[in-house]
Copies of this chain bind each other. A is one copy, B any other.
Amino acid sequence: MLENALHYSHTLLKNTLIPGDIVIDATIGSGNDTVLLATLVGNTGKVYGFDLQEEAIKKTKEKLLLTGLADQVVLFQQGHETLSSVLPKNTLLAGAVFNLGYLPKGDKTIITKAETTLIAIKEILPRLRKGGLLLLVVYYGHEGGKEEKKSVLNYVQTLSQTDYTVLRYDFLNQKNNPPLLIAIEKNKEMTA
């Protein structure tokens, strides 16, 4: 059965991440991706999570404590565009995930925005290891969603084919705006 965009992003993470990896959850939201990432990188790895909303941080902390995964996760209540202010220097990332749009079941007026999303993407890409993945699950059914989707698509098309492979995984006959996945893979070693 064809996987939806969110499920396929999880399949890619499971195929790519190994224990000890360092990854970013750029949009913690309900914390489901955080838990998956923390499971995959194990207690020798590290997940850095970002979210503006106190509620997201609080609920995710609870989930991590309940699942025994809290030790390998650091959560920051700040926007992902500020990640370079807290990420340890020379951190080599194996992956990063974004869920663009709003927090499901949360306040639909609090949405990610193209400007800050692009800042965060540009901070992460140079830090990816060879084979590392930056995944964007793009929800765009809300107001402003189509503009953010367009900005992100325009940007990723400009990435050098030598340095990155950019996959689009989306559905062509769905009227209800299901999310699309953009997966960016780093093709070569990071150069300082």
Q: Which residues of A contact B (CB under 8 A)?
A: 1-2, 12, 16, 131, 133, 153, 156-161, 164-176, 182-183, 185
Does A131 contact B1, Cβ atoms closer than 8 Å?
A: yes
B165 pairs with A168, CB closer than 8 A? no
CB of A161 to closest CB in B, whole Å:
5
Q: State the CA gap A125–B171 with chains docked (Å).
A: 17
Query: Which residue of B is nearest A131, CB measured?
Result: B1
Given contacts A2-B165, A2-B167, A165-B2, contact A160 B182 (CB under 8 A): no
Q: Could you give 19 example pairs across A and B, Cβ below 8 Å?
A: A1-B185, A2-B167, A2-B183, A2-B185, A153-B172, A156-B173, A157-B173, A159-B173, A160-B173, A161-B173, A161-B174, A161-B175, A166-B172, A166-B174, A167-B170, A167-B172, A168-B169, A168-B171, A169-B169
Given A1-B131, A161-B174, A185-B1: A167 and B167 within 8 A (CB)?
A: no
Chain B residues in 8 Å Cβ range of A170: 167-168
